[in-house]
Every structure is written in C-alpha cells, then in structure tokens.
C-alpha cells in the first residue's frame, strides 16, 4: 500500500514581476500558503510513512527558512507562483529521497483565492 502525507506551511515574502506590465510589476508582498504532498511506504516497525514533525522540519529547513521574509527575486528571478513552485519542488527532491519519500503534489497559494498546483506523479 502507498500512503500520502500532506503538510501545510505559510510564509511571508516580497517580490515584483519582471517582464510584466501591470500593478504586480511593482514591489509588493504576499502571505503564501504552501501544501506539500509526499508519498511513501509505511514502516512496519513504526506504523508511519514519516513522522509529521520530521516532514515539517525538512520543509522548514530547505524551503521556509530561505523564503520567509525574503525578496523572492533574489532567489527566483522570475518569481511567478509557477516558478516558485518549481523551485520548491527542485529544492525538496533530494532531502525527501533521503527519507524514502517522493513529492507528488505541491500547491502554492499566492493569495487566498489564487494558487498554482504542481503535479509530479
């Protein structure tokens, strides 16, 4: 059997959209909401795929600490929601594999009503 674990995070960050004409070309900020879905096999010994606390720490260390209260254009020059989601997926790939987990879905809300979904399965 394969199980999927889902964990959500929030972070605040600023950016501006380059090569774009409109109000978002100017510096502004968002409170982002990130949902990470991983897949893995349940351990017979622990009865878990992964401890939620371990998953939280992994995402916190590799993503949230880098993005929270940052100017996103310094990290992802074309800092659209799509490009941020792709960057997050790339950053999480190796650390998740070390835990025998695979990222299968990532949702990044830029505003409460606007999100990008990245499916990796």
Nearest alpha-carbon partner for 108 in 13, 2, 28? 13
Q: Calculate mean pLDDT across residues 99-119.
A: 97
**Are residues 17 and 61 in contact, defined by beta-carbon separation less than 8 angstroms?**
no
Q: CA–CA separation, 49 vs 3, rounded Å?
A: 7
Which residues are known to be catalytic?
A: 24, 69, 110
N-terminal to C-terminal alpha carbon distance within the chain: 16
CATH 3.30.479.10 matches 2-119? yes
pLDDT of residue 2: 87
Q: Which residues on adjacent β-strands are paired with residue 3?
A: 40
The pLDDT tens digits of the residues spanning 15-49 come to: 999 999 999 999 999 999 999 999 999 999 999 99
What secondary structure, in 3-state letters, does 54-94 show? HHHHHHHHHHHHHHCCEEHHHCCCCCCHHHHHHHHHHHHHH
pTM over 0.75: yes
Domain boundaries, the chain: 2-119
What secondary structure, in 3-state letters, does 90-109 show? HHHHHHHHHCCCEEEEEEEE
Q: CA–CA separation, 74 vs 78, rounded Å?
A: 9
């Amino acid at each position: 059997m394969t199980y999927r674990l889902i964990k959500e995070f929030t972070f605040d960050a600023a950016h501006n959209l380059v090569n774009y004409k409109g109000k978002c070309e100017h510096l502004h900020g968002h409170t982002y909401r990130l949902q990470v879905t991983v897949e893995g096999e349940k351990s017979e010994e622990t009865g878990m795929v992964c401890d939620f606390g371990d998953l939280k720490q992994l995402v916190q260390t590799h993503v949230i600490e880098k993005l929270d209260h940052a100017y996103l254009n310094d990290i992802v020059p074309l800092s659209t929601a799509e490009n941020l989601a792709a960057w997050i997926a790339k950053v999480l790939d190796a650390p998740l594999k070390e835990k025998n987990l695979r990222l299968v879905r990532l949702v990044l809300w830029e505003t409460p009503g606007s999100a990008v979904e990245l499916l990796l399965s």
